[in-house]
Chains A and B, each alone.
Chain A
Amino acid sequence: MTCKDCKAEMHQLFDDQSESKIQQEIKHHLAGCDDCTAAFDEMKSVFSFLQPAETVNAPLLLKQQILDHLIKEEKKMKNDKFRLINLPVSFKRIVSIAAVVATILLIMPFIGKNGSSSEAKAAVSFLEKSILATDQIHSMIIHFSVRTDTHDNFALIGKDYPMVAHTITKSFDTPAKWKVEKSGRTILNDGTAQYLWMPEVKNAIKTGIGSGMAEWFHILLDPRNILSMEEEAAKAKNSRISEKEAGGKTYLIITSRAEGNFLNDYLLNKSIDASDNRREYVFDSKTKLLEGLKIYLLDKTKERLIFDLDHIEYNTVINPATFTIPLPEGIEWSVLDLNVTNANLSNISSKKAAELALEGLAKKDFDSNKELWSQYNFIMLKLIASQYGDLQVIQIGEPFKSWIYPGEFVPYEIKQKDGSIRKWNLALRNDNPHKVWMIDGGL
C-alpha cells in the first residue's frame, strides 16, 4: 500500500465492524510510516474533538413516563374498545408552544427590519413598491422554461432534464382563473374547482379550488405572492438579497438555501424549494413590474439554469375558452375525494400500506383497498395493472422521510411479469382528514 492509498482509505479505520482486509493493510502501512501516522493522528483528534465531553443520556424518569403512558393507553382501550386512542404525546406541549410562536410571529417583522443590512433594506423597499404596482394587473401570460420531465409533477426539477416550455395564463377578474400548461400536463382553475389533465394517460382529475395541484408554481400565479414571499425571506434573513439598477431595469438577486430537512437527501435538488438556488429577478424600474426571472441550481461548486422566464404579457385580452379543458369522448372528470375512510388503511404504518398496495397490484385488485388508489382513474389503473400485474414482491424496506414532503417513502424491490427487477420507492401520504394512506407516486 502506498502513502497515497493509505491517506485515501484511512477513514475506514473509524468503522467499528469486524476488521476487514483493507483495515489490516492500512494498519500494516501505518506501523512503518511516520507521515501517514501523523495524518491518521490528526483524523483521530478531529474524531475525539467531536465526542461530547459529557455523556448525554436519557433522563432517569423517561422510561417510567413511557410505561405509564402505555399503561394508561391500555386501560383506555379496554374501557372503549372501539375508540382508537392515537393522540401524539407532544400534543399538550403544542398548545403552549403555539402561544409563544404567535408572539414571535407578531414581533418577527420588526426584528428582521432592524437587523437587516442597508442593501437588504433597499431591496425590501423596492419589493414593497413592486407589490403596489402589481395591483394594477388584470391579466397576464407568462412564458417560461423549466428543467423538468414533461410527464411528471410540475414541481419536479433536475439538472439533467431538458428545458421544457411552460405557459401560465391568469385572469385577475373575480373569480380569478388560471391555467398552467406544459406538453404532458395541464392544470386549470376555472374559479369553481381545480382540474388536472394528463392527455397521454387520459387521466382527468377534479379537486377543490384550494388544492395544491400547481405545487411550486402557485407562487407564480400572482406576482404579489412571489414578491411578498421574497420580501418575507429578506426580512427574516433566510436569503441573501441584493439590488442594482441599470438601463431602466432593477435587478434583484436572491440566494437561498434549500428549505426543510435533508436527514435523507432523496428529495434534495428535486424541486425549487428543496434546492440551494439563486433567483435573479428583473423589474422595470418605472412601472415596478416583473419582466424576467432566472433561477440557478447551486449544486456544490457548479450552477445550472433550471428556470428561465422568457417574457410576461400584462393586461392582454384572454379568450374565455382558455379556461376550459375539453375532454375526449368517453372521458369524464373523476373527483378526487380526500375525505375517505378505510380503517384498514388508517391505523397502519406506511410500510404495511405499501405491502397492501403491492399485494393488490400483484392480483390486479384495486377494489379491496380502493382508497389507496384514490389519485388514479380507471384508465391509469388499467395501465398500471398491465405493467405491474402478476408482480412478485422481493422485499419491502423501512419507510423514510425527506425534505418537507408530508408523506413517507417505502423502498421496494419487485420482480415484474417479464422477469425484470424493479427497485424504487413508493410515495405514500396520509395527510387527509381520516389519515388514510394513499399512493402518491413511485410506480
Chain B
Amino acid sequence: MAANDESKRFKELEQCINEYQDQLFRFAFFRTGSVADSEDLVQDVFVKLYRSQRQQAPVKNIKHYLFRSIANACTDFQRKGKYHFESVEKIEDSTTLQVKDASWPLLLKEEYNRIESLLQHLPEEQAEIIRLRVLDHLNFTEIAVLLSQPVTTVKSRFKYGIDKLKNILHPKEIIYDL
C-alpha cells in the first residue's frame, strides 16, 4: 500500500515537473541571472511540494503554490546576499548587468542583460509585475493573487511601467515653436 502511494506521488510529481519546470526555471532565471542557482531553487520548490504531499497536506492550487514558492525562494536567495541589490548610483550609471554563468549560451546572457537593463529604469514594483506578465506569462488575476495586491493595482502598475518604457524606447520628438 505504502509502495503504491509512493509510486503514485512520484508519477504526480513527474507530471507536475513536466508542466511547470520551464516556467519556474524562467521565473528564477530572470530574478537571479544564474542558471545554476535557478536550477537549485526550482529543485528546492519541487522537493518542498513532494514533501508536502508526503505529509498528507495536499496542495489545492498547484500553479499558485509553485509560483508562490519560487517567489519566496528567490526572495530568500536575494536576502542571503547572493544577489547584489544595485545602488542608486549604479542603477543610474549602468547600462548592462552581468550574468554569472560562463557556460550559458551567449545569446541568453545578452537577452537577460538587455531586458534587465531596461527594467532597471522602473520602480521595482512595476518591473516585477512586467516580469510576471511578460516573462512568466501570468495573467493579471494570477499576479494579483501571487503578490496579494488588488487586480486594479497590478493593472495600473503594469500600465505605468509600460508607458515609461514606451517613452524610453520611443521618445517623443520635441517640437519647438519658433
Contacts and interface: CB of A to CB of B under 8 A. Distances in A.
Interface of A: 11-12, 14-17, 42-43, 45-47, 49-54, 56-59, 62-63, 65-67, 69-71, 73-74, 88-90, 93, 97, 101, 236-240, 255-257, 259-266, 268, 300, 347-349, 352, 397-402, 404, 408, 411, 425
21 contacts: A14-B162, A45-B169, A50-B134, A52-B135, A57-B25, A57-B26, A62-B43, A63-B21, A67-B13, A67-B14, A93-B40, A97-B82, A257-B85, A261-B74, A263-B31, A263-B128, A348-B55, A397-B148, A400-B147, A401-B76, A404-B79
B43 A89 contact: yes
B14 to A, nearest CB: 7
A260 B85 contact: yes
Contacts of A16: 137, 139
A240 B44 contact: no
A56 B25 contact: yes
User: Most chain-B Cβ atoms within 10 A of its Cβ — which of A237, A264, A266?
Assistant: A264
Contact of B162 (A47, A237, A400): A47
B57 A63 contact: no
A41 B166 CA distance: 10
B35 to A, nearest CB: 7
Contacts of A425: 148
Given A62-B21, A67-B14, A256-B87, 13 more contacts: A14-B133, A46-B166, A50-B135, A52-B135, A59-B35, A67-B17, A89-B47, A238-B87, A239-B88, A255-B88, A261-B79, A265-B124, A400-B72
Interface string B26-53: 1001110001110111111011001010
Question: Which of A46, A67, A101, A397 is packed against the most chain B CB atoms within 10 Å?
Answer: A46
Contacts of A49: 118, 165, 169
Contact of B88 (A257, A259, A349): A257
Nearest to B83: A261
B68 A399 contact: yes
Contacts of B39: 58-59, 62, 65
B36 to A, nearest CB: 7
A261 B78 contact: yes
Contacts of A257: 85, 87-88
Contacts of A57: 22, 25-26
B141 to A, nearest CB: 6
Interface string B49-84: 010100101000000110010011011101101110
Contacts of A62: 17, 21, 25, 39, 42-43
A11 B153 CA distance: 13
Contact of B111 (A52, A70, A93): A52
Contacts of A266: 148
A215 to B, nearest CB: 17
Contacts of A73: 47
Contacts of B55: 347-348
Nearest to A74: B6
A90 B105 CA distance: 23
Interface string B86-115: 011110000000000000010110011001
Most buried by A among B29, B43, B55, B165: B43
Nearest to B64: A398
A281 to B, nearest CB: 18
A398 B111 contact: no
B87 A67 contact: no
Contact of B14 (A15, A56, A63, A263): A63
B107 A54 contact: yes
Given A42-B166, A399-B68, A66 B46 contact: yes
Contacts of A265: 124-125
Q: Which of B13, B64, B130, B162 has the most CB of A within 10 A?
A: B162
Nearest to A120: B89
Contacts of B125: 262, 265, 268
A17 B139 CA distance: 7
A63 B17 contact: yes
Nearest to A59: B39
A13 B173 CA distance: 27
Contacts of A255: 88
A309 to B, nearest CB: 24
A62 B105 CA distance: 17
The 10 tightest CB contacts between A and B, nearest first, are: A58-B25, A11-B159, A90-B40, A58-B21, A261-B78, A401-B75, A238-B87, A52-B111, A57-B22, A50-B134
B4 interface: no
Contacts of B105: 54
A400 B165 contact: no
A236 B52 CA distance: 41
A398 B75 contact: no
Nearest to A409: B148
Interface in B114-140: 115, 118-119, 123-125, 128, 130, 133-135, 137, 139-140
B17 A240 contact: no
Nearest to B6: A74
